[in-house]
Structure 1
Amino acid sequence: MNQLKNNRIKSLDILKGMVIIFMALDHTRDYFHANSFIFDPADPEKSNYILFFTRWITHFCAPAFSFLAGISAYLVGRKKTKAQLSYFLLKRGIWLVFIEFTIVHIGWSFNLQFEYMGLLVIWSLGISMIFLAAVIHLSMKNILAISLIIIFGHNILDNIHFEDSMLWSIFHERGYYTLFNYIQLRIVYPIIPWIGVMSLGYYFGKFYNKDVLPEYRQKILTQIGIGAIIGFFIIRGINLYGNSRPWLEYELFEATFISFLDPSKYPPSLSYLLMTLGPSLVFLGQSENLKGRIVNFCSTFGKVPFFIYILHIYVIHFFATILAEFTGYGFNTMILKGFVSTNKQLIGYGVNLGWVYVIWFGIMLLLYPSCVWFGRYKLNNKKWWLSYL
């Protein structure tokens, strides 16, 4: 196994780091790209290859985060009893849900009145950990079966709707609700199928046991990943099941191509998960021996995923506030009551896509030293609270 001195598995850190970098690109686009306030970058009739790819590459982030969190839970559990691991996952899950509603919310909005709340990716990870805290007591075969049933079968629920049911939205359908006649709640990441993605990652954690030959692990991960990619093209091509939003054929091939590669993310369809988890598995299977500066750069972020997630939100939003102030829109337009791209006061604000990439690259360079420092701090300090960061 290709390991770091502190027994971290390098390929996992590389993938985590890569999806964090992609995620930061998407969030930079959200807060800086002028077209973000006009149309969806995945709109086949308005987007283009470069803009769509800028959005598409970030589709890998949430599935990879959830899947890798499952693997990490398995690896942590090798040094704990099932009861200890279950308790740890339960506490960490509750902690993440709390963080979503507080620190993460403030970072996205800079609004201390809490008029708007979103159930986003950190919420999803937290709920999935709570679910996993119970599931780990089953046999590995049963964990695999449950995970696959959820992932492959959940699209059966696409045509089931309960009007104004917040509970159903929490489980499987994106929705918007008003709480206490004051708080606007936006449910973006329903529980299903994210809980299945994390439990599947937990199952795959067994391939990182010390008695598993690296050659076998690399082979099986690559083969399963290629199978998932092929499955995506078959299911997406048939266009009957596995996605709540079928792809459409347009006069322009570019528009058809965009439509085909944009399966539903909210909730993530089977097509979406095959499209994203497939390449992620192939990467894990082929990246264990990678070396070099770019690899080390990505791994630095991958070692501190929660830390960089929180930090990048505040830094991106902060610089966007400065740009809004100095371009005549006022800093107050970045004190948000909803998602940034829905703020109609910002129509006309922003820069072109080329500058978005420049800003994104600059922000990642700016954040790099702090991630190096925090990674070393975690390595040299075994304080209990660091396991929650």
Structure 2
Amino acid sequence: MATTLSIKQRIQSIDILRGIIMLVMALDHVRDFLHDAGAFGDPTNLKTTTPILFFTRFVTHFCAPIFVFLSGVSVYLVSTRRTKSELTGFLIKRGLWLILVEIVLMSLAFSLNPLYNSVALQVIWAIGVSMILLALLSWLPIRVIGAIGILLIVGHDALTTLKIAPNTSEDVLMKIFFTARGSVFALDNSHFVFDLYAILPWTGVMFLGYLFGTLYKSDYKAESRKRFLMLSSLSLFAAFIVLRSINGYGDPAPWAVQKDGVFTFMSFINISKYPPSLMYCCLTLSVGLLILALTENASGKLAAFFKTYGSVPFFYYILHFYLIRLVTVAVFFIKGFKTSEIITPNDPFLFTPPGLGFNLGVVYLFWLGIILTLYYPCRWFSNYKKTHRQWWLSYL
């Protein structure tokens, strides 16, 4: 994915964690396009979902916040090899590049519409803008940047209660920066922007990652780092349990007792990703920090497998989306759909007519096929990056 900055000596626990969540992330994207409920079904709606469908979606909740957090860690690692002015310039260029990638490459991958009637602003957009904001604040002490990040994570939920007149400039700005959850902005009668990722809550996660990057300084002892990561993980998890139990501040969707214990548990962990609530960040980042601690000295074939994907995130991220959409087009024609059905009314995605998808078991098979198909291309590019130092590699 787009969160890694070129690191000469890679840190294996970071690559392992990133690799794990990249593979899990692909499951959600395969489900979006190839499940019979499609991208417009809500697998977290307790009135209509099933436990297996709910948890298929829930496990992918961990991907975006951990990616954004690790992008902040990577920025810190890059900062140790650059002057402040060099870092500022790099982050601004990198951020603008990611915004361009989101609008041009990723919007096309989602819609397959070369006319760009719809543009989707998602995680790459949020990371790009957050990098630019970090560039502007990079002259501040690291702890101050970390404190700003914590303030954004903890405080942004308070803004969800503000009453702002709809369709005003204030409403648009509030959605873009704080509250977007699938907000639609019309550019004209036939062109729309779908904003799924409110900028500043995700910026807070990146800033926190930037602070945690200091744990990977060369003079920081591994045992001390592992102990701090474990303690931080347990603290965040405890905060989630306490906040969620009292149904108070920290998530706009309270939990409630359901028809049985399984659905009650699902309600309890059914936290809000858009925008990422305080409880959402506490739970997801606690798991990420735990994996970082446990994989500090990991070895073996499984660790190497995850590292292969985690070492080339941007390369993998672009390829896996286009591969999924290529499979979608192939399934479209194999199932006998006509060219007149390429466009579905009120659907921004091409080649996604009703009846295209499969049951969840088949979706899992497609997912395994997608990630295994990309293993050798990712391994090749990982080896290429290790043996080459062209300037453009720091942008991939």
Give 1:347's aligned amino acid.
P
Does residue 106 (structure 1) correspond to residue 135 (structure 2)? The answer is no
Does residue 267 (structure 1) correspond to residue 269 (structure 2)? The answer is no
Equivalent residue for 1:324? 332
Instruction: For 1:80 and 1:277, locate their aligned partners in 2 and report how far apart those are by CA, in whole Å.
Output: 28
Instruction: For 1:370 and 1:334, locate their aligned partners in 2 and report how far apart those are by CA, in whole Å.
Output: 30
CA change 1:126–1:324 in 2 (3 A) is same
Cα root mean square deviation, aligned: 1.8
CA change 1:334–1:261 in 2 (3 A) is farther
CA change 1:330–1:305 in 2 (3 A) is farther
Instruction: For 1:302 and 1:20, locate their aligned partners in 2 and report how far apart those are by CA, in whole Å.
Output: 7
Instruction: For 1:344 and 1:43, locate their aligned partners in 2 and report how far apart those are by CA, in whole Å.
Output: 25
Instruction: For 2:191 and 2:175, locate their aligned partners in 1 and report how far apart those are by CA, in whole Å.
Output: 16
Which among 337, 360, 363 is matched to residue 356 of structure 1?
Answer: 363
Does residue 380 (structure 1) correspond to residue 387 (structure 2)? The answer is yes
Equivalent residue for 1:124? 126
Instruction: For 2:343 and 2:102, locate their aligned partners in 1 and report how far apart those are by CA, in whole Å.
Output: 18
CA shift, 1:17, in A, is 0.5
SS at match of 1:193: helix
CA change 1:148–1:351 in 2 (3 A) is same
CA shift, 1:360, in A, is 0.6
What do residues 85-110 of structure 1 show as CA deviations (whole Å, max 9, x unaligned)? 11101110011001100011111111
Does residue 368 (structure 1) correspond to residue 375 (structure 2)? The answer is yes
Instruction: For 1:339 and 1:357, locate their aligned partners in 2 and report how far apart those are by CA, in whole Å.
Output: 25
- The aligned runs of 1:166-181 (5 Å cut-off) are 166-174=172-180, 175-181=183-189
CA shift, 1:135, in A, is 2.0
Instruction: For 1:375 and 1:266, locate their aligned partners in 2 and report how far apart those are by CA, in whole Å.
Output: 32
Q: May I ask how many residue pairs the two structures share in their alignment?
A: 383
Equivalent residue for 1:13? 15
Give 2:85's aligned amino acid.
A
Contact 2:332 2:351 in 1 (8 A): no
Instruction: For 1:344 and 1:309, locate their aligned partners in 2 and report how far apart those are by CA, in whole Å.
Output: 21
Instruction: For 1:160 and 1:344, locate their aligned partners in 2 and report how far apart those are by CA, in whole Å.
Output: 39
Give 1:150's aligned amino acid.
L
What do residues 22-44 of structure 1 show as CA deviations (whole Å, max 9, x unaligned)? 11011011111112367311111
Instruction: For 2:105 and 2:121, locate their aligned partners in 1 and report how far apart those are by CA, in whole Å.
Output: 13
Instruction: For 1:208 and 1:185, locate their aligned partners in 2 and report how far apart those are by CA, in whole Å.
Output: 38
Contact 1:300 1:372 in 2 (8 A): yes
Equivalent residue for 1:308? 316
Instruction: For 2:352 and 2:230, locate their aligned partners in 1 and report how far apart those are by CA, in whole Å.
Output: 47
Instruction: For 2:206 and 2:146, locate their aligned partners in 1 and report how far apart those are by CA, in whole Å.
Output: 11
Instruction: For 1:97 and 1:281, locate their aligned partners in 2 and report how far apart those are by CA, in whole Å.
Output: 28
Instruction: For 2:208 and 2:8, locate their aligned partners in 1 and report how far apart those are by CA, in whole Å.
Output: 25
Give 1:148's aligned amino acid.
I
Instruction: For 1:387 and 1:56, locate their aligned partners in 2 and report how far apart those are by CA, in whole Å.
Output: 32
Equivalent residue for 2:4? none
Contact 2:33 2:352 in 1 (8 A): no
Equivalent residue for 1:347? 354
Percent identity over paired residues: 41
What do residues 254-303 of structure 1 show as CA deviations (whole Å, max 9, x unaligned)? 22222221111110000110110011001111111111211111110100
SS at match of 1:210: coil
CA change 1:167–1:333 in 2 (3 A) is farther
CA shift, 1:136, in A, is 1.8
Instruction: For 1:117 and 1:14, locate their aligned partners in 2 and report how far apart those are by CA, in whole Å.
Output: 32
CA shift, 1:328, in A, is 2.7
Does residue 201 (structure 1) correspond to residue 203 (structure 2)? The answer is no
Contact 1:225 1:281 in 2 (8 A): yes
What do residues 188-232 of structure 1 show as CA deviations (whole Å, max 9, x unaligned)? 001121111001100100000011100000000111011101111
Contact 2:329 2:351 in 1 (8 A): no
Instruction: For 1:193 and 1:316, locate their aligned partners in 2 and report how far apart those are by CA, in whole Å.
Output: 29
Equivalent residue for 1:73? 75
CA change 1:35–1:114 in 2 (3 A) is same
CA shift, 1:252, in A, is 2.5
